[in-house]
């Protein structure tokens, strides 16, 4: 509504062209302008006319009683105000005419048309978000079931059909393989495996085994009792060299005491746990030691809940996770975490806790052993959580433990690296817990971006604060330091992965693409260097998690339409495949190779695979596939899909996400 003064009326009339001599429409002013008080103003409504108001804003006359248009041949005295009606008949609504609300209305009566009023219209159906989510889950399950049927029956037996009969032609204007790859990688899907025995197992997206492919299983051989040919000393040396150097499960001086028979039950549990874990690097799998540990572990937890028992539980978690026995691994991990909380090792930095007695007078446990035990269990919990895609058993919000280095009197390089590993996995789990959650899709756009910015800042601060012992130099390539940098880049990849589905052109989308490239390329350089220094076949089994994460990202980049990016990604992707082949001692590496083959076929980039892996996949049969695998069903929860394909051609790669520099001077 427009407000004008009485003196501007003639100008407004001239502007709208309503002079009587120039328009066929006459305007009647009621009351005349001469009767308006000087303090009045005039409200001009383009639809209703001019409305005089007082200085307080009150309208003098009704909205229809002041100004009305008078058409030629119309008696001015016959013009009457008509109030608006709440309901109009269907004919007037359809023809967009003014209805007087009578039954029948004057317009329908004049034109001899049936006048119909609809008093109650059906309300618009509200879509239930939970129903939509359930339907999406059903679609995913049905698609996966179709793939299983196609793999079991073979494509030759399926009828031919035109793709245009199912999808609109416009949907094929984008690169299908690239879109499929982006949707698979960026979508956070949880996988529920239903085995033939009726048991279920839950896996999360961070473990890289939740992609919608036909099967991730590897036929495992039945464990048979074998003679223990390795000496105890040889197994202790393997444990010290390949396991304890990275995880610090047991203080070095304690390992030497495990050669002799143990007098206490908790000491025996620790001894057989160490020997069973070390046997994985020997010809035998140490099943005899593992069976003995399983027989006495519950009694130790009930009667001797101390740090030695917690150390043994962490080692058993390591062994079962390395063997892909997810159920046993998670049980041991939960028991170790529960015992840590029960003993109060997670709050060792609180002064009022440290003043309390830590055990009977005869049990003189050093503070450094308690701190080391906590951080070794904590590290194992974080590794298990990330590899299985589950929630941690020791929440990061509840940890108030003394930093590991502060409890070391004379820290070595191994101690410094272990402390950095604990810090890195703490940061990793802190943000994975927020990003890989069921509530992440419900966050606002700015909240998700703020979370990513906070995670990146925390990672970059950790990288910048690395001391000289943690730098990689050409003349000083410590394998444990290389492994630390591998974990750092793996964490960056996983944290940025869900942001690939953000809108094209957004800051988070551009940042996630750039990190997906640079961190994956940095991981390839680290893999090469580790293989040169210490051989990938001797790397800890959780290094497979880093290699597989990089391989999936590089295979995604291989779907790019940019030939340079595609060729570089393919070359580096094959480095990851070679590394997994060298680590085939672990079941997870063999599963990873099968996963990459299936993803390459699904994303139509089979050419990225080495020639020896590019043969067509064999459909599972009853003879070659265990019953537990044929009955597996994949169920997922998908938060969002990326509607537009990834465009790698417009990404600015000039700014790296992290530095990985060799210092020449050293």
Instruction: Report whether 452 contacts 496 (CB < 8 A).
Output: yes
Element spanning 369, H or E: helix 367-388
Mean of pLDDT values over 433-446: 86
pLDDT at position 198: 60
Measure the CA angle with vertex 113, ends 108 and 117; round to 5°: 65
Answer left, alpha or beta for residue 230, where phi above 0 means left and psi between -120 and 50 means alpha: beta
pLDDT at position 64: 39
pLDDT in tens, 334-369: 999 999 999 999 887 654 444 444 444 434 457 889
What per-residue string of b and e applies to 615-628 under the rule 16 or more CB within 10 Å gives b? Answer: eebebbeeeebbeb
Highest mean pLDDT: which of 5-9, 125-129, 542-546? 542-546
Listed residue (492, 497, 646, 511) closest to 566, CA to CA: 646
Residue 17 has pLDDT above 60, yes or no: no
The DSSP string of 56-68 is T--BSS-TTTSEE
pLDDT in tens, 151-161: 666 544 444 44
- Share the mean pLDDT of the chain: 75
- Coarse DSSP helix, strand, coil percentages of the chain, rounded to the nearest 5 percent: 55, 5, 40
Query: What is the rounded CA–CA span in Å between residue 118 and residue 102?
Result: 13
Q: Which residues contact 211 (CB under 8 A, 6 or more apart)?
A: 184, 189, 595, 598, 599, 602
Listed residue (421, 418, 342) closest to 386, CA to CA: 421
pLDDT in tens, 288-317: 999 999 999 999 999 999 999 999 999 999
Please give the share of the chain, as a percent, with pLDDT higher than 90. 40
Q: Are strands 67-70 and 26-29 parallel, antiparallel or unpaired?
A: antiparallel
Look at 618 and 504; give whichever has higher pLDDT.
Answer: 504
Coil, strand, or helix at residue 458? helix
Instruction: Report whether 310 contacts 336 (CB < 8 A).
Output: yes
Class of domain 86-119: few secondary structures
Task: Kindly state the tokens that stand for 75.
Answer: 């008696």
Instruction: Report whether 209 contacts 189 (CB < 8 A).
Output: no
Look at 581 and 201; give whichever has higher pLDDT.
Answer: 581
Residue 636 has pLDDT above 50, yes or no: no
Predicted model pTM: 0.65
Instruction: Report whether 424 contacts 490 (CB < 8 A).
Output: no
Whose structure tokens read 């280095």? 405
Question: Where are the domain boundaries for CATH 4.10.240.10 in the chain?
Answer: 86-119
Helices (H) and strands (E) in the chain, counts: 22, 7
Query: What is the rounded CA–CA span in Å between residue 526 and residue 521?
Result: 9
Listed residue (637, 659, 319, 629) closest to 488, CA to CA: 659
Look at 392 and 37; give whichever has higher pLDDT.
Answer: 392
Task: Kindly state the tokens that stand for 99.
Answer: 């209805």
Look at 54 and 510; give whichever has higher pLDDT.
Answer: 510
> Any idea what DSSP says for residue 664?
T
pLDDT category of residue 618 using cuts at 50, 70 and 90: low
Mean of pLDDT values over 31-40: 44
């Amino acid at each position: 509504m427009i407000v004008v003064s009485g003196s501007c009326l003639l100008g407004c009339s001239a502007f709208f062209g309503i002079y009587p001599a120039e328009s066929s429409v006459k305007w009647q002013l009621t009351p005349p302008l001469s009767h308006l008080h000087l303090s009045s103003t005039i409200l001009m409504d383009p639809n209703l006319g001019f409305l005089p108001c007082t200085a307080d804003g009150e309208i003098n006359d009704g909205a229809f009683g002041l100004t009305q248009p008078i058409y030629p041949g119309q008696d001015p005295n016959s013009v009457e105000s008509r109030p608006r009606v709440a309901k109009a008949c269907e004919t007037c609504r359809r023809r967009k005419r003014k209805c007087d609300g009578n039954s029948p209305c004057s317009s329908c009566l004049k034109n001899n048309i049936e006048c119909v009023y609809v008093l109650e219209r059906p309300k618009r159906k509200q879509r239930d978000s939970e129903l939509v989510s359930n339907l999406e889950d059903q679609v995913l399950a049905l698609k996966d079931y179709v793939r299983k049927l196609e793999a079991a029956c073979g494509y030759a037996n399926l009828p031919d059909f035109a793709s245009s009969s199912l999808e609109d032609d416009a949907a094929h204007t984008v690169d299908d393989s690239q879109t499929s790859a982006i949707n698979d990688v960026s979508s956070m899907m949880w996988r529920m495996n239903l085995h033939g025995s009726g048991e279920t197992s839950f896996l999360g997206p961070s473990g890289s085994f939740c992609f919608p492919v036909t099967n991730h299983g590897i036929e495992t051989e039945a464990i048979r009792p074998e003679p223990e040919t390795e000496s105890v000393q040889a197994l202790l040396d393997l444990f010290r060299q390949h396991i304890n150097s990275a995880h610090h499960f047991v203080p070095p001086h304690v390992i030497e005491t495990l050669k002799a028979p143990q007098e206490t039950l908790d000491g025996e549990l620790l001894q057989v746990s160490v020997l069973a874990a070390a046997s994985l690097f020997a010809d035998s799998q140490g099943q005899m030691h593992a069976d003995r540990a399983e027989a006495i572990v519950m009694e130790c937890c009930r009667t001797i809940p101390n740090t030695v028992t917690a150390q043994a539980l962490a080692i058993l978690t390591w062994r079962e996770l390395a063997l892909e026995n997810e159920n046993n691994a998670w049980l041991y991990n939960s028991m170790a975490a529960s015992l840590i909380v029960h003993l109060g090792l997670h709050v060792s930095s609180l002064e009022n806790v440290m003043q309390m007695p830590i055990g009977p007078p005869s049990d003189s446990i050093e503070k450094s052993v308690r701190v080391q035990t906590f951080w070794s269990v904590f590290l194992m919990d974080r590794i298990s959580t990330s590899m299985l895609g589950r929630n941690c058993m020791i929440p990061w919000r509840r940890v108030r433990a003394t930093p590991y280095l502060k409890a070391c009197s004379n820290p070595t390089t191994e101690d410094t690296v272990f402390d950095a590993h604990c810090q890195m996995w703490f940061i990793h789990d802190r943000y994975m817990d927020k990003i890989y959650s069921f509530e992440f899709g419900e966050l606002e756009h700015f909240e998700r971006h703020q979370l990513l910015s906070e995670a990146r800042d925390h990672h970059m601060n950790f990288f910048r604060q690395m001391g000289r012992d943690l730098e990689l130099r050409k003349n000083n390539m410590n394998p444990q330091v290389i492994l630390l940098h591998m974990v750092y880049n793996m964490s960056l990849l996983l944290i940025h992965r869900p942001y690939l589905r953000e809108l094209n052109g957004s800051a988070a989308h551009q940042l996630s693409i750039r990190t997906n490239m640079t961190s994956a390329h940095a991981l390839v350089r680290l893999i090469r260097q580790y293989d040169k220094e210490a051989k990938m076949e001797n790397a800890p089994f959780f290094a497979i998690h880093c290699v597989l994460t990089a391989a999936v990202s590089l295979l995604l980049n291989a779907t790019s339409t940019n030939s340079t990016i595609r060729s570089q990604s393919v070359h580096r992707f094959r480095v990851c495949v070679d590394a997994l082949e060298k680590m085939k001692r672990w079941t997870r590496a063999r599963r990873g190779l099968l996963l990459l083959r299936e993803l390459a076929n699904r994303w139509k980039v089979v050419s990225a695979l080495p020639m020896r892996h590019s043969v067509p996949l064999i459909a599972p049969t009853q003879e070659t596939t265990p019953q537990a695998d044929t009955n597996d069903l994949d169920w997922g929860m998908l938060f969002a899909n990326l509607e537009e394909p990834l465009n790698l051609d417009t990404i600015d790669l000039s700014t790296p996400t992290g530095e990985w520099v060799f210092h020449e001077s050293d």
